[in-house]
């Protein structure tokens, strides 16, 4: 009875694709077991099988040495299996405590017994250093905190086997460190954790063993301590990956985007704070400018204002020499601007449309895709096919796949493909590689650099410090809505960048509202 979980020879098919093909996964008690694989390799599917959301077509599952049939999450819970999905499942207008208790309430005489629940939650939170406030509303707490609530939910149900599906994709670097710490604590207590991530650093930092999948098949299981990152990434994508990019020096050309004293007030009721505070900067042809900052310092609102999703409260935006401050979103989109949005499910995709329809979401109105108001579906599907080839977007039924059923990383690739392929003069990319595997990241990075080298302008917003340092010609640090530094990545270290981002350092001469060119 060495293994607490054994998934033996699991096969799961979807229309047009074998998502898991005879996959075996064994997890020991008290270990942190990483699950690694390209986008669409079948990781989420395998975990959904373990959690009872999908029934496998073949194969069996043993828990604590006994063969079991897991019909649904309820059965999974009874076996001590809990799962944190990549997109959280919390009730926004409930408190933390209510969310944790939901579905596992203890009642006496028909009344909820919240006092006991509260004590238990507080004790758990204390024990694992989670520090959550049980009475806070979910809608008021950060994504990192919401994740802890999800973890507490599992602990509250006395789950011993914890599945974390890409938990770090939505976290800031600080939050990731804290999560790793929590995970180690849980493992030390004897909990077993299955951890999905695309970031090899994280696997090296916390995992004991790692199972690698490729295109639905098992590639191998390795001890993390004895394996280096290069080997892991090679096992995963089947070739060597090089994430180091050397930008060829290049003189920036004429300005493409000129932002002058752009100001956005908080949209929250009763607040008059400026979330974007008189921001001014310029992005030229042939350069990648990166906005770096800790999440929640106004990046989102800045991008919304630039792309037209919200109207700014002051200042101006100039695109290719023309004022577009009051122009519509469609106007900007057809006059040189493309936008890879931060939230792919909210803005990036119409999940109920097919992949092809999503790929033309920004261009369906062009003459090649419509004539006299009638869509030219043959052209649309032909175009979709070329993008699918070019950007290696994997899915069950090609262009006809409903976007909803695609793996998270492939959804992201579809958005990136759509936006880059429009060949914009200015590409605003917010977290473009979130949730992508290293092979895909390498590809997207190359594409961004190619845009730059072709004389286009790129404005990159990223929380990933490696990405920021690697990819940009210039780094603008945003802190509390204001640009506090304009840095050359070659002249600073990651540590220094961190100090600027934390607000403990400011560049002289770049006072709020000052012109940064």
Partner 1 sequence: MKKRPLNLNFLSSLFAICVGLLFGYVILLISNPAQAGDGFGTILTGAFRDMRSVGRVLYFATPIILTGLSVCFAFKTGLFNIGASGQLIVGAYLAVLVGNKGAALGGAHWVVALLAAIAGGALWALIPGLLKALANVHEVIASIMMNYIGMYLVNYLVVQTVFDQLRNQSLPVAASAVIPRWGLDKIFPRSNVNAGFFIAVLAAVTMYVILYKTKFGFELKAVGYNRDASRYAGINEKRNIVLSMVIAGALAGLGGGLLYLAGTGKHIEVVNHLAPEGFTGIPVALLGLSHPIGILFAGLFIGYLTVGGDYLQLYDFAPEIIDVILAAIIYFSAFALIIRTFIQRRAIRTGGGGAK
Ligand X SMILES: Nc1ncnc2c1ncn2[C@@H]1O[C@H](COP(=O)(O)OP(=O)(O)OP(=O)(O)O)[C@@H](O)[C@H]1O
472 binds partner 1 (CB under 8 A): no
Provide the minimum distance between the beta carbon of 512 and ligand X in the complex, in angstroms, as a whole number: 40
d(CA 55, CA 412): 27
- Interface residues for ligand X in 377-396 (CB under 6 A)? 394-396
Give the burial class of 269: count Cβ atoms within 10 A of its Cβ; 0-12 exposed, 13-18 middle, 19 or more buried.
exposed
Which range in 1-9, 60-68, 315-323, 406-414 contacts ligand X by CB under 6 A?
A: 406-414
Provide the minimum distance between the beta carbon of 22 and ligand X in the complex, in angstroms, as a whole number: 15
List the single partner that 400 binds among Mg ion, ligand X, partner 1, none, CB under 5 to 8 Å by kind.
partner 1
- Binding residues for ligand X, rule CB under 6 A, total 20
Yes or no: say if 252 and 286 are a contact pair by the CB < 8 Å rule.
yes
Three-state DSSP state, 109: coil
- Interface residues for Mg ion in 384-413 (CB under 5 A)? 408
Residue from 11, 316, 370, 379 in contact with partner 1 (CB under 8 A): 370
325 binds Mg ion (CB under 5 A): no
- Interface residues for partner 1 in 36-55 (CB under 8 A)? 44, 47-48, 53-54
Burial 382-401 (b: 16+ CB within 10 A, else e): ebbeebbeebbbbbbebbeb
d(CA 215, CA 222): 18
Over the window 6 to 45, marking each residue x when it contacts ligand X by CB under 6 A and - when it does not, the resulting string is --------x--x-x-----------------x-xxxxxxx
d(CA 516, CA 510): 7
- Run of H or E including 389: helix 377-391
- Interface residues for Mg ion in 403-462 (CB under 5 A)? 408
List the single partner that 18 binds among partner 1, Mg ion, ligand X, none, CB under 5 to 8 Å by kind.
none
Q: Of 39 and 433, which CB lies nearer to ligand X in the complex structure?
A: 39
37 binds Mg ion (CB under 5 A): no
Three-state DSSP state, 487: strand
Structure tokens at 98: 């209510």
Which range in 140-148, 342-350, 408-416, 454-462 contacts ligand X by CB under 6 A?
A: 408-416
Yes or no: say if 398 and 385 are a contact pair by the CB < 8 Å rule.
yes
Residue from 109, 110, 226, 373 in contact with partner 1 (CB under 8 A): 373
DSSP class per residue in 110-171: TEE-HHHHHHHHHHHHHHTT----TTSBGGGS-HHHHHHHHHHHHHHTT-SEEEEESGGGGS
CA distances from 294 to 247, 471, 475 (A): 25, 18, 13
Q: Of 54 and 391, which CB lies nearer to partner 1 in the complex structure?
A: 54
d(CA 185, CA 394): 37
Name the residues that contact partner 1, by CB under 8 A.
15, 44, 47-48, 53-54, 83-87, 165-166, 169, 307, 309, 328-334, 339, 341, 345-354, 357, 361-362, 364-365, 370, 373-375, 397, 400-402, 404-409, 411, 435
């Amino acid at each position: 009875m060495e293994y607490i979980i054994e998934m033996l020879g699991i096969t799961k098919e979807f229309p047009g694709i074998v998502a898991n093909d005879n996959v075996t996964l064994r997890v020991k008690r008290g270990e942190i077991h990483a699950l690694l694989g390209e986008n669409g390799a079948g990781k989420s599917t395998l975990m959904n099988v373990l959690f009872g959301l999908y029934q496998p077509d073949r194969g069996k599952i043993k828990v604590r040495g006994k063969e079991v049939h897991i019909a649904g999450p309820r059965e999974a819970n009874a076996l001590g299996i809990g799962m944190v999905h990549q997109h959280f499942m919390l009730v926004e207008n409930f408190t933390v405590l209510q969310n944790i208790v939901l579905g596992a309430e203890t009642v006496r005489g028909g009344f909820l017994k919240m006092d006991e629940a509260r004590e238990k939650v507080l004790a758990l939170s204390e024990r694992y250093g989670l520090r959550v406030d049980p009475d806070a509303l979910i809608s008021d707490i950060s994504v990192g905190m919401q994740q802890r609530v999800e973890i507490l939910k599992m602990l509250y149900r006395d789950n011993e086997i914890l599945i974390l599906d890409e938990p770090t994709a939505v976290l800031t670097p600080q939050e990731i460190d804290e999560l790793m710490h929590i995970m180690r604590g849980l493992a030390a207590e004897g909990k077993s954790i299955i951890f999905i991530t695309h970031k090899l650093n994280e696997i090296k930092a916390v995992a004991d063993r790692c199972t690698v999948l490729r295109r639905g098949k098992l590639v191998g299981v390795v001890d993390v301590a004895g394996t280096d990152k290069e080997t892991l990434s090679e096992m995963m994508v089947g070739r060597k990956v090089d994430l180091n990019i050397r930008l060829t020096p290049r003189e920036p050309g004429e300005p493409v985007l000129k932002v002058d004293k752009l100001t956005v007030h908080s949209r929250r009721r009763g607040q008059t704070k400026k979330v974007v505070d008189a921001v001014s900067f310029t992005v030229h042809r042939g350069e990648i400018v990166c906005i770096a900052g800790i999440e929640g310092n106004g990046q989102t609102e800045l991008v919304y204002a630039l792309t037209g999703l919200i109207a700014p409260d002051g200042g101006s935006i100039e695109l290719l020499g023309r004022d577009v401050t009051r122009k519509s979103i469609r106007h900007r989109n057809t006059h040189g601007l493309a936008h890879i949005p931060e939230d792919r499910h909210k803005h990036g995709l119409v999940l109920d449309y097919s992949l092809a329809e999503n790929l033309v979401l920004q261009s369906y109105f062009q003459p090649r895709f419509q004539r006299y108001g009638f869509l030219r579906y043959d052209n649309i599907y032909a175009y979709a096919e070329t993008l699918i080839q070019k950007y290696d977007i994997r899915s069950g039924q090609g262009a006809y796949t409903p976007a909803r059923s695609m793996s998270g990383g492939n959804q992201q690739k579809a958005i990136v493909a759509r936006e880059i392929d429009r060949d914009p003069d200015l590409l605003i990319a917010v977290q473009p590689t979130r949730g992508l595997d290293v092979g895909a990241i390498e590809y997207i990075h190359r594409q961004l650099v190619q845009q730059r080298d072709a004389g286009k302008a790129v404005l990159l917003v990223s929380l990933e410090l490696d990405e920021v340092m690697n990819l940009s010609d210039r780094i603008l640090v945003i802190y509390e809505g204001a640009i506090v530094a304009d840095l050359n990545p070659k002249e600073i270290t990651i540590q220094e960048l961190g100090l600027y981002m934390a607000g403990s350092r400011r560049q002289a001469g770049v006072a709020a509202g000052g012109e940064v060119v």
